[in-house]
């Protein structure tokens, strides 16, 4: 399996960064393939050696740097050769607002980044000699864009509420308490996140289940339904299969370590 490390951001970066991840491996005679499971966050991804490929729904190489936006279904990924990746998991609404990205404009699991802004950063990260140097390098870069601070708006607050409080979040309350056009709010949310509020709720429920299952690998459908706040088993299985491509029982009864590495679920 690839070597993976996770780092928490400094408090001064928590307004945008949720965690830093690194992935390294040397696979000269081996090809590893598994799913990338939808996550409720967006990630800045930097590759410095061999670049992984998406093989479903369309075969295509990834870029040296790009945004992995919120996606609505599983993607099959393939790793080969030498890997050296640096990943910055971010709050989707903040990342898109900071760099004026339309998260709906994505193809093959990628949203493109402005080359003139991110090429110098990629080069600085490439020459960094350790994970901590890369984190420091990125921290200086992002703080140069936010020297005046960042003020969350209504879309940030809704996004945070869905991701952080999925068991109590109420879309009905958003509809009732909207102080501007609901259709405009939903349209801007989709653009900033890449999926609708309802879809993000479904993805967040699934990730909540994954996180709760990390310390209990035994398959228990009733427990997972409860953790995800589902009303019935058929709804739960339908959601799970749409987002992972497999039923809950099949997914949790097979070795999911590579899938969790690719999806950053630890």
Q: Specify the pLDDT at position 253.
A: 76
Q: Specify the pLDDT at position 48.
A: 96
**Mean per-residue pLDDT for 116-125?**
96
Sorting pLDDT into bands at 50, 70 and 90, what band is 8?
very high
Question: Are 102 and 96 spatial neighbours (Cβ–Cβ below 8 Å)?
Answer: yes
Q: How many separate domains does the chain show?
A: 1
84 CB contacts (<8 Å, ≥6 apart)?
23, 24, 47, 48, 49
Domain membership flag for residue 265: no
Q: Specify the pLDDT at position 219.
A: 63
pLDDT digits (tens, 9 = 90+) for 194-203: 999 999 999 9
Domain membership flag for residue 219: no
Q: Which residue has the tokens 């729904």?
A: 57
Domain membership flag for residue 88: yes
* CATH number of 131's domain: 2.60.120.10
Q: Specify the pLDDT at position 211.
A: 79
Question: Are 138 and 88 spatial neighbours (Cβ–Cβ below 8 Å)?
Answer: yes
Domain membership flag for residue 33: yes
Is the pLDDT at 9 greater than 80? The verdict is yes
**Partner residues linked to 32 by β-bridges:** 79
Domain membership flag for residue 79: yes
**Mean per-residue pLDDT for 89-114?**
92
Q: Give the orientation angle of helix 197-213 with respect to helix 182-193, to 10 degrees.
A: 50
179 CB contacts (<8 Å, ≥6 apart)?
154
Q: Specify the pLDDT at position 59.
A: 86
Q: How far apart are alpha carbons 35 and 52 in whole angstroms?
A: 12
Domain membership flag for residue 82: yes
DSSP alpha helix (H) spans, the chain: 92-98, 115-127, 131-145, 154-164, 171-177, 182-193, 197-213, 221-227, 233-244, 248-252, 257-263
**Mean per-residue pLDDT for 244-266?**
80
Domain membership flag for residue 261: no
Domain membership flag for residue 97: yes
pLDDT digits (tens, 9 = 90+) for 132-185: 999 999 999 999 888 778 899 999 999 999 999 888 888 877 776 665 677 888
Q: How far apart are alpha carbons 29 and 132 in whole angstroms?
A: 30
Range of the domain at 62: 3-145
Q: Roughly how many angstroms between the first and final C-alpha of the chain, as a whole number?
A: 14
């Amino acid at each position: 399996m690839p070597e993976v490390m996770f780092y928490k951001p400094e408090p001064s970066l928590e307004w945008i960064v949720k965690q830093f991840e690194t992935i390294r491996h040397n696979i000269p005679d081996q090809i590893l393939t598994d799913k990338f499971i939808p996550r409720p966050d967006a990630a800045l991804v930097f590759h410095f050696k061999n670049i992984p490929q998406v093989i479903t729904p369309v075969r295509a190489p990834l870029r040296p740097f790009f945004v992995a936006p919120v996606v609505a279904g599983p993607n099959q990924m393939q790793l080969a050769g030498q890997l050296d990746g640096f990943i910055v998991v971010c709050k989707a609404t903040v990342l898109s607002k900071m760099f004026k990205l339309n998260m709906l404009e994505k193809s093959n699991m990628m949203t493109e980044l402005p080359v003139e802004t991110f090429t110098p950063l990629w080069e600085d990260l490439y020459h960094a000699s350790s994970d901590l140097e890369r984190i420091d390098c990125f921290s200086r870069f992002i703080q140069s864009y936010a020297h005046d601070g960042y003020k969350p708006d209504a879309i940030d607050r809704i996004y945070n509420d869905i991701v952080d409080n999925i068991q109590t979040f109420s879309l009905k309350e958003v509809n009732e308490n909207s102080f501007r056009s609901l259709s405009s709010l939903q349209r801007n949310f989709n653009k900033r996140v890449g999926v609708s509020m309802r879809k993000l709720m479904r993805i967040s429920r699934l990730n909540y289940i994954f996180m709760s299952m990390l310390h209990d690998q035994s398959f228990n459908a009733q427990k997972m339904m409860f953790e995800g706040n589902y009303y019935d088993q058929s709804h739960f299985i339908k959601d799970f299969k749409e987002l992972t491509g497999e039923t809950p029982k099949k997914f949790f009864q097979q070795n999911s370590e590579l899938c969790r590495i690719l999806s950053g679920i630890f």
